[in-house]
Structures are given as C-alpha cells and as structure tokens.
Structure 1
Amino acid sequence: MNTNTIQTTEKTLKNSNRYAKCVEVSKRIRWEIEGDVIRGREFDFTNKFLPDGLSLLNDMIFLTEEECRLLSQIQGRTYANIFGLVERFINTKILEVSRDHALGDQSALEAMIRFSDEELKHQALFRRIENMIAKDMPEGYNFAADANEVASAVLSKSTWAVLGLTCHIELFTQAHYRESIEADEGLSDLFKDVFLFHWREESQHAIIDELEWRREDEKLNDVERDQAITDFIDLVVAVDGILQGQSEADASYFCMISDRTFSSEERNKVQQGLLRAYRWQYILSGAEVPQFTQVLGDLINEEQGKRIADALGTLI
C-alpha cells in the first residue's frame, strides 16, 4: 500500500469518527422546545434581549436607557427571525449533500439526518419565539424577507459557496453565545436559554459543515473553485441586502412605537446604527472566527482571499 493510499485511508477513518462523534453528542444533548426551552415561561421585557456586544447600542448615546432596552428587544426579535430564515436553506442543502453518503458511511448519513431533524426543530423554535414576542410588543413590526424566496436564491449558487456560508453562520452562532450572550446577566433568561439550547446543537452542525465543505472542495478544479468564490461573495452581498432592508424596517418600527418623536437626523442614526450592528452580527463577526478563517484559508489561494477580504471591506 503506497503512502497516498495510507493517508487517504487514515483521513477517511478520521472523518468517519468525527461524524460518529456528532451522532453520539446529538443523542446525548437532545432537547425539546416546550419541555426543555420554554418551560411555561414568557419573555421578560424589563430586560434586554441582545447584549451590547452584539447590539452595539453603546454607540447610540442619544438614546435613553429605556430606549436602548426597547431597541435591543427589536434586534433580538429580528435575530431569532434571521436564524429561522437561514435554517430553511441550510436544511435543504444538508439533505441534498447527504445523498452522497446513502450507500457509503452510515455514520455520516446518520449525522446528517440528525442535523436535518434538528434544523427543522430550530425553525419551529424560532416560529414559536416570534409568536411569543409578537403578542407582547406593539403591532407594526415587519420581517420583510421570505424564507422560501431567500432559500431559492441561495441554493441557485454552487454547493461550495452555500456550504461556506453555512459554516460561517453556524460558527458565528457559537461565538455570539460564548463571547456575548452567556456572560450577560442583564438579558431575559428565556432569551438566553433559547440560544443556549440552539448553540448546543449548532456546535455539532459546524463540525459537519466543515467536513462537507472540505469534501465538496476536493471535487472542484481551479476554474470551478474560482467561480465558487464568486458565488460566495455574491451570497455575502445578498445577505447584506437583506440586512439593509431589515435595518430600515426595524428603525421605522422603533421610532413608531417609542414614547417620543425623533428628528430625521436621529432616525437616520438609528437606521445606520442598526445596519452597523446587523453587519457585525451576521457577516463581520463570523469572518473573525479563527476556525472559519482556518478552514477558508486551507481551501483558497492568496488572490482569492484578497477578493473576499475586499468584498468584506466595503461593509465596514
């Protein structure tokens, strides 16, 4: 047996073990929406939903403490809705690529089936959260993006690009919880628990994302990979378009339900502050996660990395 064959066999065994470990952890940490997360509770509107490290409300010095709390709650509502949105296309792509394992590694197949089942549960969780928040907040909130339309647009791009975006999303989910949400004692307990339980399962998903992204990369030639990077940049730009629209909608809603009238300059500052926060939450924070930069760096060359960095630079 030559060296390349030995290395391939060792890599295959290592990857199979990683899929099997994801299955083991998935079974051990399994949770249910009502019994484990909600537990008969309601959201506490005397507290913020998102920590300042994500909401970036410290930059809006013209807002009162009460207004900052309200804007945090609006951001938290959108945060939950964004995750419900992206998990629609993530689940569809995972189901698609899982077919490659159907007559192969059954640990990998089981890991991906469990991944899909958990993503469906997460979508149900975020629909539940939206309904709970909606009944206690004034009417007028609008989440403009349609999950099926967004999924169709995302899935029109290459599998490499979609898996790259998926890995990015599920890694920043973990970073947000560990670095910001977990440590903030001023947040709604229920809101924190939603993202605690979400984080627990997303930790396994990120491992599978990396395995599948690397596996897909091995199929591509240089021309195909270069096009995939173009697709990835297109997806980042499309995400930013969603964030621009939602920041406008959330700013309008905030100004409408607040107890005072804001000047046009203040309204613009709210909208720009929200856009800056949303870009940080859903794009830029993920680009700084070491695991993501490591995997991406393994798959692309220096010139391709510069193309991505230049695209991100326009959002700062």
Structure 2
Amino acid sequence: MNIHQAELPSQRYAKCIEVSRRIRWDIDRDVIRARGFDVAHKFLPDGLTEVARLPFLSEDERRLMSQVQGRTYANMFRLVERFVGAKMLEVGRDHALGDQIALEAVMRFTEEELKHQELFRRIEMLAAENMPAGYRFMPPTDDVANFVLGKSTWAILALTCCIEIVTQVHYRQSMELDDSLSPLFKDVFLFHWKEESQHAIIDELEWVRDDAKLDDMARHRAVDDLIELIGAVDGLLQLQATADAEYFLANAGRPFTEHEQADVRAGLLDAYRWQYIVSGVEEPRFSKLLTSLIDERQGERLGAALAPIVRRTLNREMFGRI
C-alpha cells in the first residue's frame, strides 16, 4: 500500500504544514540573490523544448529557443497561479469552522501562490532586461482567470492538480539534471518545486473531498467543464506558440526558409502541448487519481477530447522522454 493511502487526510494536511514551515524561502534572500540572467545559458532543457525536432538550428539558435520557451514557461505559471490562489481562498472557507489543520494548510498554500506570482513577475522583468525587445505574453491573465473560475470546483481542482504535478516531474526528471541551464532560472524552479510538492498533495486532498459531494449528474457536468478547460488551455498554447515563433524568427539573426519557419511554429506548439497538457495527463500519479474518480464512459469522453492533442505529440517518442 502507498504510504499516502495509509495516512488520514488530517495527517497529510499536517505534514504539508510541517514541510511548509521547514522549507519556507524568500524571493530576494534565497532565489534571486541580486542576480540577473546570463544569456549564455539555456533556460529550459532540450527534453522540454524539443529542439531535437528542429535539426537545422545552430547551437546559438537552440539556446535562444530555450530562452524564449523558458520565459513563456515562467509566465504561464504566473498565469496559472492567478486563478489557483483565488480558488484556494474559496476552498479554505469550507474549512473555516471545521478542520483547522486543513484550513492552515490551504491558507499557507494560498500565501505561497501569491509569493510565486510575485517571483514570476520579477523573473519576467529580469528576462526583459537581457533578451531582445518584442516578446509578448499573449494570454489575458485576468480574463483567463475569470473564465477558469467560472467552472466547477471539481474541474478546476483537476486542472490545478495536473499542472502542479507536472511541475514536480519537469523539475525532478529534467531541470535538476541539466547543468547547462541558467543558475538563476534553475534556482527559480528548484524553490518553486519545493513548495509546489506540498500544493500537489493539497490539490489531491481537496479534489477527492469535492468529488465526494457530487452525484452522477454533477460529476458528468464537471467532466464537461474539464474538457472545456483543456480546450481553452490548448487555445492559449496555440496563441502563445504563434507569438513565440515570430519572436524567435525575428531574433535568430538569419533568414529561414518557409519550410523551416513552418517547422519552428509547429515545433513550438507541439512542445507547449507536451509541457502543459500531455506530460500531465500521462503522469501516473495524476492519471491514477483521475481514473479513480470517473467512470468508463466519462473516461472515454476525456480521451476523445485529448486524442487530437496527444496524437500531435506521439512522434516525440523518437527523441525520448524528459
């Protein structure tokens, strides 16, 4: 039996509080430490950027691609934490007159998400100081947050759980092992990972707790909401991949053929779909929990919604996993 399965929810909330106190960090003292970005380093590892799919890029161009994707990676998590923090404030109210250990765990989660938003705002400003002008982060943050928060709690917690588990996988299986990354960028996601590891546990607890409130019809509607959220995320990725491709092509320092330009655009979109959707739904920790909460028919509906996105990433097998 998994150790978490043997623990009561109250014990898991308490453990999250204990770890949160022990690992607590400060943006300036522990992460940034008066540093800036050295553009001689990559930001994201090749396994996440999928530059192997673009063999015509030079070493310098591969590094620029890593920096463009890394900048978007940080901004994307800033966007996500906007609605996650707001949702956790709402979830915390359910515990206000109940389990005070759970309440403290969720409130710490919310406070840390606010800190992460500030960290990623700072990282964007530092990136702007050292990278060429013209970068645009396209998704309208407040509009996206309002759209997400209009969906059911079950669907929002499912999406949040998936994303926060992804942060664990990306850091531990890819970033942590790559010594060629910018030391500052790597530290940003080291410290982010430390707190997100507790957040992912709370996501799981709150998702299961909310699921227990639903009847079959409510869960059916919640799955519909999750499908809508997946589609919305994919739409945002298409928007940002187009903007990032144009920025990369404008700043790579040489002309590209039409075929190469098309490959850059397609490669960015496929990389983003892998980073933010496919690597999450394929992660056993998430997929096992999801399948335990839905029936076969609901699983088929989710599978059909994901199929076009997943198929686009299948050819990444030849380049290996992160």
2:44 is the counterpart of 1:41? no
Cα deviation, 1:243-297, whole Å, max 9, x if unaligned, reads 0000000000011112101222211110100000000000000011111011101
Percent of residue pairs identical: 60
2:47 alignment partner, SS class? helix
What is the match of residue 4 of structure 1?
none
Match of 2:145 among 140, 145, 151: 151
2:161 is the counterpart of 1:177? no
Instruction: Give 1:45 deviation, angstroms.
Output: 1.1
The runs of 4+ residues in structure 1 deviating greater than 3 Å are none
Instruction: Give 1:28 deviation, angstroms.
Output: 0.4
Contact persistence 2:171–2:190 (CA under 8 A): yes
Matches within 5 A, 1:6-155: 14-155=8-149
Match of 2:154 among 142, 156, 160: 160
TM-score (structure 1 length as normaliser): 0.95
What is the match of residue 242 of structure 2?
248
Report the Cα distance in structure 1 between the residues aligned to 2:91 and 2:42, rounded to whole angstroms. Answer: 39
Match of 1:295 among 271, 289, 293: 289
- The residue type equivalent to 2:14 in the other structure is A
Report the Cα distance in structure 2 between the residues aligned to 1:97 and 1:40, rounded to whole angstroms. Answer: 36
Cα deviation, 1:125-148, whole Å, max 9, x if unaligned, reads 000000000011111000011111
Matches within 5 A, 1:259-274: 259-274=253-268
Contact persistence 2:48–2:271 (CA under 8 A): yes
What is the match of residue 222 of structure 2?
228
- The residue type equivalent to 1:272 in the other structure is A
Report the Cα distance in structure 2 between the residues aligned to 1:117 and 1:249, rounded to whole angstroms. Answer: 32
Report the Cα distance in structure 1 between the residues aligned to 2:82 and 2:194, rounded to whole angstroms. Answer: 19
RMSD of aligned Cα (Å): 1.2
- The residue type equivalent to 2:147 in the other structure is A
Contact persistence 2:39–2:131 (CA under 8 A): no
What is the match of residue 312 of structure 1?
306
Instruction: Give 1:162 deviation, angstroms.
Output: 0.3
2:94 alignment partner, SS class? helix
Which region of structure 1 is more displaced relative to structure 2, 255-264 or 190-199? 255-264
What is the match of residue 201 of structure 1?
195
TM-score (structure 2 length as normaliser): 0.93
Match of 2:252 among 258, 283, 289: 258
Which region of structure 1 is more displaced relative to structure 2, 122-131 or 265-274? 265-274
2:8 alignment partner, SS class? helix
Instruction: Give 1:311 deviation, angstroms.
Output: 1.3
What is the match of residue 6 of structure 1?
none
- The residue type equivalent to 1:258 in the other structure is A
Contact persistence 2:61–2:252 (CA under 8 A): yes
What is the match of residue 7 of structure 1?
none
Query: How many pairs does the alignment contain?
Result: 306
Report the Cα distance in structure 1 between the residues aligned to 2:206 and 2:141, rounded to whole angstroms. Answer: 23
Cα deviation, 1:210-263, whole Å, max 9, x if unaligned, reads 000001001111011011001001100000000000000000001111210122
